[in-house]
Chains A and B, each alone.
Chain A
Amino acid sequence: NAGVTQTPKFRVLKTGQSMTLLCAQDMNHEYMYWYRQDPGMGLRLIHYSVGEGTTAKGEVPDGYNVSRLKKQNFLLGLESAAPSQTSVYFCASSHRGVAPGNEQFFGPGTRLTVL
Chain B
Amino acid sequence: AQSVSQHNHHVILSEAASLELGCNYSYGGTVNLFWYVQYPGQHLQLLLKYFSGDPLVKGIKGFEAEFIKSKFSFNLRKPSVQWSDTAEYFCAAESSFQKLVFGTGTRLLVSP
**Bound together:** yes
In the bound complex, what is the Cα–Cα distance between A94 and B32 (angstroms)? 15
Distance A106 CA – B92 CA, assembled complex (angstroms): 14
What residues on B are CB-neighbors of A103 within 8 Å? Answer: 34, 46, 49
CA–CA, A107 and B9, complex, Å: 24
Interface residues of B, CB < 8 Å — how many?
25
Give the 8 A-B CB pairs with smallest separation, nearest first. A101-B51, A42-B102, A106-B44, A43-B102, A42-B104, A106-B43, A101-B32, A108-B43
State the A residues within 8 Å of B (CB): 4, 31, 33, 35, 40-45, 48, 58-59, 90, 92, 94, 96-97, 99-104, 106-109
6 A-B contact pairs sorted by A residue (CB < 8 Å): A43-B90, A96-B98, A97-B98, A100-B98, A102-B98, A106-B44
CB-nearest residue of chain A relative to B44? A106
Residue pair A31, B98 in contact (C-beta under 8 Å): yes
Does B94 sit at the interface, judged by CB under 8 A?
yes
Query: What is the bound-complex CA distance between A4 and B43, given in angstroms?
Result: 10
List chain A residues, Cβ under 8 A from B98.
Answer: 31, 94, 96-97, 100, 102, 104
Interface residues in B38-60 (C-beta closer than 8 Å to A): 42-46, 49, 51
CB distance A42 to B32 under 8 Å? no
Question: How many CB-defined contacts (below 8 Å) exist between A and B?
Answer: 57
Asked if A42 contacts B105 (CB within 8 A), the reply is: yes
Q: Pick the residue among B45, B94, B101 that contacts A106 (CB under 8 A).
A: B45
Q: A90-B43, A101-B32 given as contacts; is B94 within 8 A of A42 (CB)?
A: no
A45→B103 contact, CB < 8 A:
no
- If A103-B49, A107-B43 touch, does A45 touch B97 (CB 8 Å cutoff)? no
Which of B44, B51, B102 sits near A44, CB closer than 8 Å?
A: B102
Partner of B99, one of A4, A45, A97, A99: A45
Which of A35, A41, A100, A107 has the largest number of chain B CB atoms within 10 A? A100
Which B residues are CB-close (under 8 A) to A45?
A: 99-101
- Of residues 1 through 54 on chain B, the ones whose CB sits less than 8 Å from some CB of chain A are 4, 6, 9, 32, 34, 36, 42-46, 49, 51
